[in-house]
């Protein structure tokens, strides 16, 4: 065994410039084509950084089984050559140490990695976590028209490698390294300067709009917002990313979806906005989409108006679907993106609670309305319903919408289970959907009240950044080292607290903030109110819904 190691670097940042990346170019000789019933007979590898050779590794390996004559003819490796060679149990540990955290490179590297991973798993090391680069895939993307095939021998001759590949591990690894350096000289013309670009390049399948990739040259590798503009500089798509450059370049790598193809056809320029945190990026994306309404943001495009389920403030309150919040209602649920979603919640409450359904003025009918006759609602239309009895119903409904959601959700679960036991599966599915929609609406209401109850508050994330939130709205993100006490210095009139978000945009922003607060380890710095999470969690069914609310 011959091992020469000059330097062992570590690599964690996938956005590193290629000149700073350590590549371990390897090749294996084996007794056959499958790690399931074949073994490694030779390992060869060379390590480079910035074009400089850092070390090499070479060893024969005793496979512990007969080497087929065809393999001996191909590689020249005989039984006598591996008789005194180490077994893979001895050869693999120093080889894994040699590889370290470098990027693995090979020609048809999946073959080599399949044998390495099989041996590593069998010996208790686990699958290799190193990123890998396939010179065959790179050559297919970069120089396929220039060569008759993509075999290593052909590529080595094309790039005038001083080492000829002869089906021996070290020689083939050295030839592959020369091919890699030849290919790296070509990638700069495509704007590939960093490792993340190089790893994505083989997936670029000749997109018709790949030439526009130079629009991404000035994008940073930081969280933020990207904006695709048409030739009139109008935003046609807005998105967020944890790595702006990497995310935007993915659009140029041959996505075959029709909407993406049309988007790329209209793309004329790319703007961006760097954000300090992913939270800020998500909120900024939401605000920009609602402001510009880009036509390719179909899934997240804001509705023309918000809808609410309102409990009216009258002698015998009832439920109705409205488009505005005002002081004429006892309570609200929402906002909803469509009237259909609001109607689903309205129907869910009707299924769970005997609240009045008809709109007829109390005492104006000779007999009861249909819901009252069926016993599913208490209605004052015939003038026989006492106000005190109906007030109890209203009080229970208000409690179910606020502090005790089980009052509304449990009856739906009971009915759903009864229908399922009676094999009335379609009706049970309808109740499941209504239960899920109502649970989400109540949960949204609880979260909003928790955020608005905290007023203006400031928290610190694990990186020391300060995030200021005012009544469910993101105000500012500050870097570590900025002066504390922002709340005392902010001259801002806080919005009037409401029991539910006043619009779809406000509700969606509050949901983003809530997910971030509950999914991140944060430290509360100060608050003008009380940041308290709801004690009684809304229980949602762990069942797939047939339609979204």
Q: Which residues are catalytically annotated?
A: 167
Length reported for the chain: 549
Instruction: Tell me how crowded residue 473 is: count the other CB atoms within 10 A of its CB.
Output: 20
Q: Which residue has the tokens 């979603």?
A: 341
CB 352 within 8 A of CB 334: no
- DSSP helix/strand/coil, 175: helix
Alpha helices in 252-338 (DSSP H): 258-266, 278-292
Name, in order, each residue with C-beta under 8 angstroms of 89's C-beta and a sequence gap of 6 or more: 123
Question: What are the Cα distances from residue 545, in Å, to 23, 152, 426, 549?
Answer: 48, 52, 12, 9
Strand partners, 194: 17
- DSSP helix/strand/coil, 524: strand
Phi/psi at 278 (nearest 5 deg)?
-65, -35
Best CA proximity match to 238, nearest among 306, 295, 279: 295
Question: What are the Cα distances from residue 268, in Å, to 232, 263, 453?
Answer: 8, 10, 45
- DSSP helix/strand/coil, 70: helix
DSSP letter string, 408-471: HHHHHHHHHHHHHHTT-HHHHHHHHHHHHHHHHHHHHHHHHHHHHHT-EEEEE-TTS-EEEEET
Q: Token pair of 293, please?
A: 């309404």
Instruction: Tell me how crowded residue 211 is: count the other CB atoms within 10 A of its CB.
Output: 10
CB 459 within 8 A of CB 467: yes
Cis peptide bond prior to 287, omega within 30° of 0: no
């Amino acid at each position: 065994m011959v091992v020469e190691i000059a330097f062992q670097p570590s690599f964690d940042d996938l956005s590193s410039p290629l000149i700073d990346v350590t590549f371990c170019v390897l090749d294996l000789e084996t007794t056959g084509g499958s790690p399931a019933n074949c073994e490694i007979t030779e390992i060869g590898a060379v390590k480079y950084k910035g074009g400089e050779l850092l070390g090499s590794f070479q060893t024969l390996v005793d496979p512990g089984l007969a080497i087929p004559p065809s393999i001996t003819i191909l590689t020249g490796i005989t039984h006598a050559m591996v008789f005194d060679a180490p077994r893979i149990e001895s050869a693999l540990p120093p080889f894994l140490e040699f590889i370290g955290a470098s990027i693995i490179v090979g020609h048809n590297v999946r073959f080599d990695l399949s044998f390495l991973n099989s041996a590593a798993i069998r010996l208790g090391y686990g699958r290799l976590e190193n990123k890998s680069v396939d010179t065959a895939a790179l050559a297919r993307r970069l120089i396929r028209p220039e060569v008759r095939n993509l075999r290593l021998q052909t590529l080595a001759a094309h790039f005038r490698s001083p080492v000829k590949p002869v089906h021996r591990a070290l020689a083939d690894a050295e030839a592959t390294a020369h091919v890699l350096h030849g290919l790296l000289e070509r990638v700069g013309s495509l704007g590939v300067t960093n490792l993340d670009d190089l790893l994505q390049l083989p997936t670029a399948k000749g997109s018709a709009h790949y030439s526009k990739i130079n629009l991404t040259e000035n994008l940073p590798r930081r969280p933020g917002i990207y904006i695709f503009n048409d030739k009139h500089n109008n935003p046609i798509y807005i998105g967020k990313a944890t790595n702006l450059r990497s995310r935007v370049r993915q659009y140029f790598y041959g996505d075959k979806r029709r909407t993406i193809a049309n988007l790329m056809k209209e793309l004329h320029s790319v703007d961006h906005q760097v954000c300090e945190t992913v939270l800020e990026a998500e909120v900024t994306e939401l605000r920009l989409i609602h402001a510009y309404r880009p036509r390719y943001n179909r899934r997240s495009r804001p509705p023309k108006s918000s809808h609410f389920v309102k409990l009216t403030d009258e002698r015998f309150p009832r439920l109705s679907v409205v488009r505005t919040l005002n002081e004429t209602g006892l309570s609200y649920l929402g906002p909803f993106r469509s009237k259909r979603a609001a109607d689903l919640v309205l129907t869910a409450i009707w299924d769970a609670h005997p609240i009045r359904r008809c709109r007829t003025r109390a005492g104006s009918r000779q007999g009861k309305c249909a819901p009252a006759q069926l016993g599913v609602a208490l209605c004052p239309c015939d003038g026989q319903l006492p106000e005190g009895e109906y007030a109890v119903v209203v009080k229970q409904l208000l409690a179910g919408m606020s502090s005790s959601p089980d009052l509304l959700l449990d009856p739906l679960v009971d009915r759903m289970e009864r229908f399922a036991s009676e094999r009335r599966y379609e009706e049970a599915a309808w109740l499941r959907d209504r239960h899920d929609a109502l649970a989400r609406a109540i949960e949204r209401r609880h979260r909003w009240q928790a955020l608005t109850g905290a007023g203006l508050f400031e928290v610190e994330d694990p990186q020391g950044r300060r995030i200021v939130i005012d009544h469910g709205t993101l105000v500012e993100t500050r870097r570590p080292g900025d002066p504390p006490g922002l709340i005392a210095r902010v001259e801002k009139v806080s919005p009037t607290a409401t029991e539910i978000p006043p619009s779809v945009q406000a509700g969606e922003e509050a949901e983003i903030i809530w997910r971030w607060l509950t999914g991140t380890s944060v430290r509360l710095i100060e608050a003008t109110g009380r940041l308290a999470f709801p004690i009684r969690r809304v229980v949602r069914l762990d069942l797939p819904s047939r339609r979204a609310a």
